[in-house]
Structure 1
């Protein structure tokens, strides 16, 4: 049987594949260039086999909520404690009074928009940004039975929301920018009053006036983009939207959460609760924080292993190491070589793209060529 017929039975690169990599480095061609000179691109085939094999293992349901849920949560106990601290910080930031910026009579020209109710109520934002993504995470869990994916998705989502909320409210309190409807919040009867320095003397409801100084940035917008942006990244990894197969329909699916977040942002301007700068800054904060929190637990969506969390691939490598422990010394050396190849080629740990260390076998092959 020819050597290339045996490659599908191996998890990582075969000896001949490593020889091809060594030859390409000798010739100075990149992996992408060498793919055009050969009809058999071994590293790409191995990536595909690695991905399909990983998916099959996830669907086996060997790591469920009942079997590994407590252990996974215990490992991340300090993260859950940090979430509670973020909740306390957010409550404190919401309770304190924002900075009451000077508002003169000339400034009221842009602050006399009508006082309207919210098109998107406050209670609807957590439903869109938290509950909806978690429901989708649970649907994926029911299908794949992977507790690592479910736990890290929920943990990353909550961190994205709470970190965004703390940043947003901290800036709100520090800036104290008046909302576009500040005039009617400050003077509900339409009779404006100013002190000797020209600053407003509000006689409206204190809570309404307090909210009137929290325009920048938009909390509705930042929360929506933090939660739905995280969901968009999650779906793009699960659907393998960037697998270079050109399925634009996948992009339409991952754009839906971003569209919903954008509509929430537009409603804030239409309701005259925010200026357009507030909405833009809120959306930017939410997207940036969501991206950082997602990449803390998952590979980038364009990566071949972007469909699963880092913890799952780490668990697979540890399981393979334990299974190969009773083997002979040669078996242990082979497992170590596979782990090194897995880190460089497949990026299971840290997405390392460093060059593979030259093995003893490659040295022999190289000396044979000489």
Structure 2
């Protein structure tokens, strides 16, 4: 679960250092923590309700590999440690998979908004960056199967659960990444919204320059446009070759 929180926090902090937007920092951290917390609560509740045995449950019951029988009924007695046996009934869904997709899935949404990945300019590099956190979450989920702690259905259900919760939490605080103002959180857009309901971009920019505060660019900032031109040049060079 450390990866699900620490990795997104590093990216969020890095973007804050670059853009100095307190609204963005506050709502990004809030959305991330909400995503991981809600996913953890739902995961634990489902684990206790379903009680599916883990793939290694046999060795939890018989750690020495030797069966013991009830002298009266003749039934096999599960003689492992009680705590180990109880933990063996918590296979579905995978908590590591759900937590990884809750945190890293939120990071993918966040990066998609900041990079304007869905601006219809066709930048493959942006899409690769957005998918990297999901790739890391998938590797965490696969490791739970290869380590013989979960069935593949457990990690699949956990991944879907975490990604769904992450999506809801991100959209609660930020516009969709394909939106015109998808770079900034809802609260920041409301903060700079004028009494007539229109965004006062010019006046806010002048005010920020006066107070040496945040530069405002609702379309995705100058850095994003510069990155887009650079990516266009790289892709055109690739086509010429």
Q: TM-score, normalised by structure 1?
A: 0.52
Equivalent runs, 1:188-207 vs 2, <5 Å:
188-193=63-68, 201-207=77-83
2:14 maps to 1:139:
yes
Picking from 184, 197, 200, the partner of 1:308 is 184
Q: Secondary structure at the match of 1:277?
A: helix
Q: 1:146 to 1:213 in 2, by over 3 A?
A: same
Picking from 162, 182, 186, the partner of 2:57 is 182
Picking from 11, 35, 45, the partner of 1:160 is 35
Structure 1: gaps (5+ residues): 1-124, 322-335, 340-347, 349-370
How much has 1:131 moved relative to structure 2? 1.1
How many matched pairs?
Answer: 199
2:104 maps to 1:223:
no
Equivalent residue number for residue 146 of structure 2: 270
Structure 2: gaps (5+ residues): 200-217, 219-241
Q: 1:338 to 1:286 in 2, by over 3 A?
A: closer
**Structure number with larger C-alpha Rg:** 1
**Aligned equivalents of 2:100 and 2:187: distance in 1?**
27
Equivalent residue number for residue 23 of structure 2: 148
Equivalent residue number for residue 170 of structure 2: 294
2:81 maps to 1:213:
no
How much has 1:203 moved relative to structure 2? 1.1
Structure scoring higher RCO (CA < 8 A, sep ≥ 6) equals: 2
Equivalent runs, 1:44-63 vs 2, <5 Å:
none
Picking from 227, 249, 258, the partner of 2:134 is 258
Q: CA RMSD in A?
A: 1.9
Equivalent residue number for residue 109 of structure 2: 233
Q: 1:192 to 1:315 in 2, by over 3 A?
A: same
**Aligned equivalents of 1:291 and 1:198: distance in 2?**
52
**Aligned equivalents of 2:46 and 2:75: distance in 1?**
22
**Aligned equivalents of 1:199 and 1:281: distance in 2?**
34
**Aligned equivalents of 1:193 and 1:285: distance in 2?**
39
Q: TM-score, normalised by structure 2?
A: 0.78
**Aligned equivalents of 2:147 and 2:161: distance in 1?**
21
**Aligned equivalents of 1:233 and 1:197: distance in 2?**
57
